[in-house]
Structure 1
């Protein structure tokens, strides 16, 4: 008989995992079921159990896949998912590695939720600029919720415990069902008409998306936005977000949380009052002590102990100051007088009358000098003119004519040679005292010896 071959648990688990991984029917499979034991890990991974009436399977959806989810999975929610089946070697169990997931049967509600959210956000209903401030010390707190639900009990208990001075006014409304949206919107209008509320809590306890749907309706969102009274939304559990949460002036995770945000804690106020009372008391005591020290200082001062001597001393100081004032005043007057005389002398030196007188004297001197220079220049020019005129007369043709010479022209052209004329030409002879018109009868050339 052959001895059996034993395998390790690790080897067996790896073998089984390999069988799962190579099976094409398990590598991409669609599953529907109900979520239970949901756990959101601090690293963002989701671990839960997927079950139906007769079986269950472990599931995990890693952070990289679940970051695109449009909803928050929770226990009891029916879902449709796509993923692959494999074995987790460390525990030896098989599980679903979820790639996609959506609610089963309420996908249309989530689609409507996202569409309305985008629409109202684009219109600016979520903008912080429209958020009203929640009063610190409200006298009347309005609550819109079901009068029989756990939410109103939590709110009343919390407000009575924290701030019993506030009066709580319940405006009942349907918070679940087909008529719930209209009922909540009407209650908000009624609360605003009262005119006495300081803050308004609108909400209910947690539930599925169908149960919370009234707070995702447009009519409720617009009524919250139009409210003159600041509104705190308190819808569902901490992980639930509705359209009302985005429009409200303040969002609380739970009805109890809304009550805590709506009113202060009486013990905190008492502590604050006591603290301020002690601060005022300390400040007053310090002020009294300071004034006492000043009073004692004044009492022990020389003025209070010897007032007559102080008076006489001040009289003597006054005389000294008067003498100093008189001397300083006289010195000031002397300085001003000296400065005045200096300026007067400066002014006399630059007075326009003296300047005009000096300028007139300078003008007369310059005029005399100009006349002398002009006379000398004219005499010199006259002498030059006479000399030039004598030279010109010596060279003038007229003087030559006085000695019997004449000038011969033919058509205004001076004739200088017998070669320039012909027999029979008409000529003009310019004499000293006139002109003779004549005609050439003949010419005779004569040699001129140099």
Structure 2
């Protein structure tokens, strides 16, 4: 046991030391140099497509043998199209403004000091995530563009894919002024090493978990490194009695089924009691035709015979699959009360045409993203125009919602004087 602990310490010391050195170099690089590195990473992915897909195939086969759910297999799977999408994402990131070139304000105080507020990288960012190897590319590129080094710790189910991707990215970086150690992967997926990683304050400036509720809560409880919480998504659609029925149906199906395994997929449908008889059968039919199993309250089950009785747990569930919880609520306030109790603060939407109800909903719902007549699937950094995201933050400190480049920076004050002293 002692030998293992020493080995884990040595692994973290090596990764951390290299990351801190890389972060110092990144801090002094220009936007042009960082963009050249991103372009080289694109070429690295292109040159290693076959290796990455082969490694991913191994992970998928292992995952099926180990009983991974269809939702997790879907998250894990890479295709040529998805790899092309990753490359296009990097290309879009090249075109984005480097946040560390931004000045958040400048003024002169009463003593004649010129005070400026400028954006700076966080330093070394640690990412702990599950299943989705595309996160390896997105997180690496976002951190680098914002001037940060990154240490990635993916799940064991994607270890082969992640290793192949990191090798491809580092192959690209080796041809640039950015040290390849700016992007590193923890290759040992053991929980023991992960636990020590969460406490590596001497090396890591910020820790970002991406994954299910279990992973996120584990990191929040165990980490001593500052954590940005990326929350789970129990996202709600509230169909108000004033809703357009066809629009409500379209929003429901898209939010739930466009991609069921992601955090911005819809998990709970609320329908006004006054509109349930007129709208719910058609909404239920649309869900059933899309292959979605409905967990409903008593009224829902009476209007949709195929529905199964919902339990209390269903309304707290992030299914990440073809299931949904449905409840008929006794008016607007009952819907708000339900969302307050069960929402994870990710994304919630109202389908309505009543102006005052819409304004009330926008004010009353305290989630990272609050929608009116639009699919929850738009809660995404790229869709918001950020060019990508490191995650969806459901906390209220530092960053909230889709976390783009600016969320991966802090700021410092720079003060220029001419010999002033304080009396």
TM-score, normalising length: structure 1: 0.19
TM-score, normalising length: structure 2: 0.20
> Rg: which structure is higher?
1
